[in-house]
Each structure stands twice: as structure tokens, then as C-alpha cells.
Structure 1
Amino acid sequence: MRKSRFSEVQIIGMLKEQEAGMPTAEVCRKHRLSQGTFYKYKSKYGGMEVSEVAKLRAMED
């Protein structure tokens, strides 16, 4: 499986920008990713904090 260009911390940051009120299209344009990829990240990491991502990664391993 291909490794993501973004770390989990960066993905959480993108989601926080969108939650803060920035339009999704603008967030995608700024970080150069497609809206489909953004929504895939949102379904996986939505509502999480950075510390919770570490727990998720530990459970996946």
C-alpha cells in the first residue's frame, strides 16, 4: 500500500481548518489534495485529536 504524503498530524490540521470555517474547496486547494481524498481522511480521522491518532495507529499495528 502506498504511503500517504501527509502525516496524521498534518491531516488533523487540515480537518481543523475546515471545521473552523474554511471552505472545503479552499482547504483542498491550499494543501493540493482532491476533495475525495479529503473526505476519505475526514471519515477516518474526523473528530480525533493528535493523541487519539497515536492510539489508533497502535491498535492497527
Structure 2
Amino acid sequence: MKQGQYNDQQILAILQQAERAEKTIAEICQEHNLSPNTFYRWRKRFAGATPADLAKNREIEKENVRLKRLLAERDLEIDILKELLGKK
């Protein structure tokens, strides 16, 4: 998946700017070179999120990656053992 040009904190700042109604959504999108579809997708994804929530989610995602890797390694070891036991 392509990495976007905005990080989560920047996205939150843009969404907060829209919540304060400083400018219209169209003006905000034009200022940040976004499509309105992207803005609304972000608003749906980050609705009510705080920077602390984003940090917690990032930690959870890292832990999930680690656990998936451990599971894949365990499954590989099991397959190797089954193959060795099947040959005898």
C-alpha cells in the first residue's frame, strides 16, 4: 500500500481545523492539496481520535506484527517436524 504524504498527527490537525470551522472543507482541501473524498475518508477513520489514541494504536499494530511473525515461525517449525516424522 502506498504511504501517504501526511502522518497521523498532521491528519488530526487538518481535521481539527475543519472542526473549528475556520474555513470551508473545500478551502481546507485545496490548501492541503487533498481531494474531498480523502478528507471525508480521514474524518471517518479518525473520528474522535486523540494523539494518545494514535500512539496506542501504533503500539498495538507493532505488537500484532510481532505476534504474527511468531505464529508464522511456529507453524513453519510444526511443518518441518511433521515432514521429518513422516519420512521415518
Task: Tell me if TM exceeds 0.5.
Answer: yes
Cα distance in 2 between the residues matched to 1:4 and 1:33: 11
* 2:29 alignment partner in structure 1: 28
5+ residue gaps, structure 1: none
Greater relative contact order, per chain length (Cα 8 Å cut-off, separation 6+): 1
Measured after TM superposition, the shift of residue 60 of structure 1 is 3.0
* 1:50 alignment partner in structure 2: 51
TM-score w.r.t. the length of structure 2 is 0.64
TM-score w.r.t. the length of structure 1 is 0.89
5+ residue gaps, structure 2: 63-88
Q: Secondary structure at the match of 2:4?
A: coil
Structure label with greater radius of gyration: 2
Measured after TM superposition, the shift of residue 46 of structure 1 is 1.7
* 2:86 alignment partner in structure 1: none
Aligned length: 61
Q: Which has the higher helix share?
A: 2
Identity, % of aligned positions: 31
Cα distance in 1 between the residues matched to 2:35 and 2:58: 24
